[in-house]
Amino acid sequence: MTQGSSDLFSHISERLLRIDPSTLELQPGLISEWEEIEAGMEYVLHIHPEAVWENKAPTNGRAFDAEDVVWNILYAGEYEGPEHTAQRASWYFGIENAEAVDDKTVRLTLSEPNGPVLAAMADHRQHMVPKEVPESYGWDNYPNFPAIGPFRMTSYDPGTVGTFERNPDYVLTGANGDALPYFDGVELNWFGDNASAYAAFLTDQLDVMPVTPSDAKDLDDESGVTVYRLPFRGTQLQVLNTERYADVRVRKAFHNLLDYQDIGENVHLGDYKWSGKINQQYPYVMKEDEVRVLPGFNPDTREADVAEAFKLLDAAGFPEGAGLVFNNVSSATTGNAFDWQIRIQGQLAQVAPAIEYNTNTPTDGPSFQRALLAGEHDCITHQSYDGPETRLAIQAFATGHSRNWSKYSNPTVDELVARSMAESGEQLGETIAELEAILMEDHPWFGLGIVPALAARDRVQGIDRGGWEGASGNDSKIVSQYYWFTEDA
């Protein structure tokens, strides 16, 4: 199979909790049981009694313990370690104390309500590392990381190949209680471009690979291949920096000028879902039929939407857009994010040629992250993967949040986000609706919910890719964190 470097940790590590992609209910992970002493304020976490680290330095086969849990929670929330490096640090706000009660028990107390804090631990990027690792190894020293996931790494050639074998000490089980993983080894291969990976898949050198919308459509008719479409909480975004563009009229005009149907059909080839400010797979938020009638999404009002955009620009002091410059940064040099900025540039050149929209790509992932954290962008195109809970997703609109790339600040929105942290059910739904109504008028975050695809040769059956969980009932089989082969390859 082929994947990016982020999936290395998906094979050798594990999360504290998992989540059912169909119901969004929390499920046991390395935390086998938990007690909610007071909703959003106090929890007791019970660690899986048989979880152990791989028998290599520095853990040497020791038990996964309460101090590991405490260290990882505090590191994820930036209470320990370097500041301003974790995009999801704000998910762990309000932690007053994380205490190892004994070797297998942690008590977590908060100073203010943070109802989704357990869901944060179930996010597919919240992999556990040993408490000793930050002082012992570099973060990219993958072969020397002790495993606690379904596999342990046997070799690694950066940018080329990584190999893994079954971890005999892995303790988590499948949906039916059966032992995981179902196969003895995995090989991850990296390619310089999608075309090379696609060619390798077609020539039977790969069993599984993620594919672009165009490749997915081609592979649908390919003999011996099955394409799995996996709706999930990924949204392709165009985000304006509100500190650079404080006038809401400019933000609204920019939105009205764009044609999202054109982007969806040409970049995603129809494999997308209309989304408002919050991905449509979450509960309580705007759904497709509500979004379709809005400016930018409705082809029937396209002419009127553009005319309104020019009125807004004139009123803001930019007649026909003259004097406006958007230096955009894409999160990748290829793929959806890159294609989005190119198509937006082409759209603006046609409909509002007085606007200057420049496209840029970072040299690498860390460069992009540094630019985001520093606010060194007019706007960005980015494929965002929100957390596995609605309240985690809306935190991205709160002032100072670690994922608030638009530098947006609205006291009323902050109040609604804070209020939601102690709410659930119908009450939460009312707050989300009120929040989204404000964002639709004020916030420069425009996106489409994308539908990724995974291609597999037919000798591979029943693939689950729940590490990037969806929230659709159609994804009921996607319940594990990794790729599972349910029949012999």
94 vs 465 pLDDT, higher one: 94
Q: Report the distance separating Cα 62 and Cα 51, nearest Å.
A: 9
Q: Residue 438: pLDDT band by 50, 70, 90 thresholds?
A: very high
425 within a domain of the structure (yes/no) = yes
Count of domains forming the chain: 2
Q: Residue 280: pLDDT band by 50, 70, 90 thresholds?
A: confident
For the chain, the straight-line distance linking the first and the last C-alpha, in angstroms and rounded, comes to 12
* Domain match, 419 and 469 both: no
Q: Report the distance separating Cα 46 and Cα 32, nearest Å.
A: 6
CA distances from 265 to 157, 246, 262, 281, 337 (A): 38, 31, 5, 20, 15
232 vs 150 pLDDT, higher one: 150
User: At 303, is the secondary structure helix, strand, or coil?
Assistant: helix
Which pLDDT score, from 0 to 100, does residue 465 have? 42
Tell whether the model's pLDDT for residue 489 goes beyond 50.
no
* Domain match, 156 and 32 both: yes
218 within a domain of the structure (yes/no) = no
* Domain match, 392 and 247 both: yes
227 within a domain of the structure (yes/no) = no
* Domain match, 172 and 243 both: no
Rounded mean pLDDT, 298-305: 96
Residue span of the structural domain in which 35 resides? 6-190+452-475
Which pLDDT score, from 0 to 100, does residue 350 have? 97
Which pLDDT score, from 0 to 100, does residue 266 have? 92
Q: Report the distance separating Cα 432 and Cα 390, nearest Å.
A: 9
471 within a domain of the structure (yes/no) = yes
205 within a domain of the structure (yes/no) = no
Q: Which two tokens stand for residue 406?
A: 């638009």
CATH number, residue 381: 3.10.105.10
* Domain match, 27 and 170 both: yes
The answer to whether 447 and 379 are in contact (CB under 8 A) is no
* Domain match, 464 and 423 both: no
What pTM was computed for the model?
Answer: 0.86
Rounded mean pLDDT, 259-263: 93
Q: Which residues of 352-378 are buried (b: 16+ CB within 10 A; e: fewer)?
A: beebebebebbeeeeebbebbeeeebb
197 within a domain of the structure (yes/no) = no
| Own/partner long-range contacts of 396-403 (Cβ < 8 Å, ≥24 apart) | 397/277, 397/435, 397/439, 397/443, 397/445, 398/90, 400/90, 401/90, 402/84, 402/86, 402/87, 402/88, 402/89, 402/90, 403/87, 403/88, 403/90
* Domain match, 389 and 347 both: yes
Tell whether the model's pLDDT for residue 363 goes beyond 60.
yes
Tell me: the pLDDT tens digits for 163-197?
A: 999 999 999 987 677 778 877 888 888 887 778 88
Rounded mean pLDDT, 147-153: 92
CATH number, residue 160: 3.40.190.10
Which pLDDT score, from 0 to 100, does residue 323 have? 97
* Domain match, 467 and 414 both: no
* Domain match, 151 and 180 both: yes
* Domain match, 413 and 424 both: yes
207 within a domain of the structure (yes/no) = no
Tell whether the model's pLDDT for residue 478 goes beyond 60.
no
User: Mean pLDDT across the chain, nearest whole number?
Assistant: 85
Q: Please name which of 350, 297, 285, 296 lies closest in space to residue 321, comparing C-alpha atoms.
A: 350
Tell me: the pLDDT tens digits for 388-409?
A: 889 999 998 999 888 888 899 9
Q: Please name which of 91, 209, 192, 126 lies closest in space to residue 467, comparing C-alpha atoms.
A: 126
* Domain match, 292 and 388 both: yes
489 within a domain of the structure (yes/no) = no
Residues forming a β-bridge with 451: none
The answer to whether 481 and 444 are in contact (CB under 8 A) is no
Q: Which residues of 216-227 are buried (b: 16+ CB within 10 A; e: fewer)?
A: bebbeeeeebeb
* Domain match, 240 and 145 both: no
Which pLDDT score, from 0 to 100, does residue 231 have? 63
